[in-house]
Amino acid sequence: MTSAPPPPSPPRAPRDLPAEAVLFDCDGVLVDSDASVVAAWSRWSREEGLDPDAVVPQVHGRRAADTVEALVAAPGRAAARERIDRYEIDAAADVTAVPGAVALTAALPPGRWAVVTSGTRALATARLAAAGVAAPAVVVTADDVQAGKPAPDGYRLAAQRLGVDVSRCVVVEDAASGVAAARAVGVAAVVGVGERALATDADVVVRDLREASVAGGADLRVAADRLR
């Protein structure tokens, strides 16, 4: 006898995430920089005598300085860091906005959102400009913290600069290290973006920012038709 198929899962409802502020990662969340990251880090890896296929997966959501420190002996680190910073900025002109990023950030009230990135200030500025995403008043970069993601320093500092309680913030991330940083600082919720975020414990995961909207103030509404 053939067993009956299981009943279909009930449809998901849109989910509202109350927030006083929204803290966005940059790469993979607001800007699609994956191709430029692969190009820059592959070039750098070959010059260092390293396998790009082993290096590139290590760099997402991580400060370049931390990656260089892990892969290059101390005498060569300064020069290696200077090269990768230059290669990434050279490739920044090729990045585009993640779908929905421009509309979502424009809909948020000024002073109620920030960018927290593992990139340098020069790199974040170049990538946001190339993607057409207007930078907010608060942008926390690798230059502003002693410890990068997964340490919570960047998200804590962004909330302080906005003048809001970090526990009332929603973080939007794509990488495991960024989600871990958000969890460590105790934010209200984490929205994951893209397939990479399915490997994290983000509360919800959207394909891109077209599936998120402003419900009111800084509150986010996440569509029913999402990845998770």
- Catalytically active residues are 25, 27
The set of residues, in sequence order, having a beta carbon less than 8 Å from that of 86 and lying 6+ positions away, is none
CB distance 211 to 180 below 8 Å? no
d(C-alpha 2, C-alpha 65), whole Å: 59
Ramachandran area for residue 163 (φ above 0: left; ψ -120 to 50: alpha; else beta): left
Identify which of 85, 136, 99, 133 has the alpha carbon closest to the alpha carbon of residue 114: 136
In sequence order, the β-bridge partners of residue 96 are 32
Cα separation, 48 vs 72, whole angstroms: 8
